Structure 1
Amino acid sequence: MIKKKRKRPVSFEIGLGEQEGSILRATLERAVCRLFLEKYGYFSEPGPGTHSPAEFTEAVRDFQRVTHLPLSGVLDAPTLHQMALPRCGTGDGESRGAWARRASTARHRRQTTPHGGRWYKRHLTYRVVNWPSYLPQHEVRLAVKAAFELWSNVSSLVFWEARDGPADIRLTFFHGDHNDGLNNAFDGPGGALAHAFFPRRGEAHFDSAERWSLHSGKGRNLFVVVAHEIGHTLGLEHSTIKSALMSPYYKKLSKDFVLSWDDILAIQNLYGKPSKGSAIQLPGKVFAHFQDWSVDLYGGDRQQKSLSSYYCHSFFDAITTDADHNLYIFKGSHYWVVTASGNASNPQPLQPRWPGLPPGIDACTWSQLSGKFYFFKGGRCWRYVGSTLEAGFPQKCSARGLPRHPDTALYFQQLRRLVLFKGAKYFVVSEETLGVEPYYPRSLRDWEGLPPGTAGALSHRDGFIYFFRDDQYWQFDRAKLQVVATGKWATQLPWMGCWDVNSGQVLF
């Protein structure tokens, strides 16, 4: 029997002497590292080019400083190993000087993104455009929702999912080059896992070639990576703190808190603290099994109690009241009913009650004159008799002069008309024609003491009109045409149904 000779592994060193092979290997390593340092912003002059040995050494030293390696300036084994680890594809800063300043003052600074900016609103929508086919859709959506809630739990931000159409922040999976520039082309498994853009582009892209997972076992944990990229879309740069979620390198889900003190200071520096209660920190073990989740992390009585008063710990989209003095509080794709005695229902989906009504309405009101519900979103309006959408609706009401995206809608008894508020103006609208009455809009100064940008209003059985914005209310006297009191609605208006407002907050 003739034994076949085992083939020698192919190597670039074949045909070269040991010394020549070592030189070639070092040259290739240096070229690869130069591309890495250019991609992630470690040279003073951005973009590809020829860099002097001194510039290269300084860039390597800055990279070592950021990754907490000995500052040798040499491409030693630990440095090469660190560069090869999976990480975020978003750059590490605009200049090596900026990184050096961040590294030396990390204990005293809050990460902000002077080049990326911030969102100038607190209510943001997001959309999951696509996802890996091997992951269940409902689990992906739960993981993404939880990732956004990480940030809203420690800031004043509020997020809502848009199932289709436009959204402020879009999450998309791509293969390889996807028209973001060659520097942002995905490189297959390992390397850059994802990248994102600062406000207000609102895009986060994920490498489809990675093996993504929603569990704590094998694969890249999608929840952790999504949460990190969301940070970028909100305006956060990479952090030099190793334990921070915004550290550039991938880390597995652990039992520790997902957000570090550095992450929390960073997001609060941009958007402020939660307007109700204190920031909520959650350990990584909470996010290990999304397949077991329903709508909340809590079970039993705690879940029912939390769901019924969730709107008390956040903001709502709109509010109105009916003939029986029931309150209707709207948020996203759900609404709550609060009875005249102050008892709140669990959140109810909009669709069964008002078929065809989209989530995230801008304003609504119930008319004492006609007994009809009016809803407004964008430039369109809906009118319902009970649960029946009237023929011919929705209509493009902005074509009749009504404001797009009104802040607040109200039926005003004295005028027997609808009133829409938008910024520093208000519009009086006829129910019959849904057109703006002559001589309007007028200045909000007619409503003495009322601030612009309210989120909703209602006529209460005590004879006053109540306006709401964030966690504040304004009590308006219809006879005097002025604000006569203001305060915190969740704690000072018992009829809002927030009996357990001081008992803590929930994740969802």
Structure 2
Amino acid sequence: MKILLLVLPTLCQAALPGTAGSVPTHRFVPQFGVHPPGINGGPPQTSEAEAYLNNFGYITKKDGPEPPTAFDFQMGLLRFQMYHGLYRSGLYDVETEEKMSLHRCENPDMDNGAALRDVKPKGLWKKKVLTWSIQGNPANMDAKEAHAAVAEAFQTWEGVADFRFVQQQDQLGGQSDILVAFEPLRNKQHPTVISRSGGPAPSKITLDSTQRWGHKFLVPGDLPLLRVVTHSIGHSLGLQHTPELDSLMNPLFKSYQLFSKLEHIPTEDNVSLRKLYVPDVPEASVAPEIPVTEGPAGPVDEGLSIPVTSQTHGDDRNCPQHVDSVTSVSDSVWYFFRGYNVWQVKNQQFVGEPVRIKELFPGGPDFVNATVTSNGLTVLFADRNLYGYEYDAGRFVKAQGFPRELHERVLFFPQAAFPLTNGSVVLLSGNVFATYDVVANQPHILNDKNRMFPNLPEDVRSGIPIHNQDFTKYHMFDETTVSQWDSITHESTSAQPLNEFFKCASQSATTSKTRRF
């Protein structure tokens, strides 16, 4: 492990795979874990990328005084890429840099490298009629227009989970439940921060008055005041950040083209708030509980409360069209992974709603980078950790000796996997691969993917044998399509969209009404 830590700063500059398997596209590489002495004896200097990962919760912090290592920051970078739907290269590439450069809310995205917990009931509002007020004005915007945007934001939340909002006069601002203040943001966690939110009970929303805000007539470069205030009110009511792109609680803000008009609260945010405050939320609105069995290591660790989110750019929860990984436990039973969630698939048909990965896989990770099943052992890869499971009577039981860490000879982070005939598996990332014995935890061959396995999808995610234990032909998946690949001839069929290959749960229910058995 020490060897790996020594090479990681250099690894960031090496010609390893970058976005979509290409050569790394980064323009500037921060030296993670390398901190020059501070000025005049001050604290050591850190890069903006390190500050971003550390301040917004992507880094797992140690108990002692030791600062995060290069490896810790590498893991944080992977979590950031996973959270925001980027190619998980583990490198500070152009796409990662651009995503980090977007304006954002100062509230955290994760907690110590894990999903955020819900606000505890004692911290929530105990009343449903809340007062609000405004202090100050943005520097570049007419006060009347700014106040209209704030009022519209509160009106948008009106009625959600039975909340009502009443405006107070400015002179009573200090006594209101929610104060919206336009003022310069001091001591920001990162230069991209334009808002911060406290609370709930009581709450202060601070908006950077020095920014270029807009409302009714936005021009390129304007930040959407309505969108940012509506997001901040969500925090004031108790909602946390989510990676879901369609949610108001996504932490990142773009300029005028996004959310310039907002007519209602998205369904996900509506349901999330009702789950916090309303005890009788319909069961169809939340993920079903799936019982899991005890593994050799003891009872299941419930872990943190993880948001059930498809992270699929607006896909139906029961019919995702984007995939992170797929693995099969038999010819007919597969498991489909996306974001924090996993779906069961039978005969290419989704079964029911998704559940959290940690619920189905005892002691498992929050998310996966790759999955594979070989000789009855299902392995989930998350960062550089391997989680092994045996499939028994419809349940996954933790296999002995797992979790474990990937062998130090494999310097890349696996982004895809498929099984081989000899019990080994192929791990891939961009243009490199390793054949790997998951039982012995040893690599065999490390080489160029296109040389040994030509004509695989460019951004391959998973490979499943078309027939169980027949390793000549595979279904090969990238994020949105599936194709057939012959391991002998290396020929590949044309790609088919996932929504044509898989049947939706809702479609199957409709079909069953007319089907005869």
TM score, norm. by length of structure 1: 0.46
Query: Hey, which of these two has a bigger chunk of strand by percent?
Result: 2
Q: TM-score, normalised to structure 2's length?
A: 0.45
Structure number, greater radius of gyration: 1
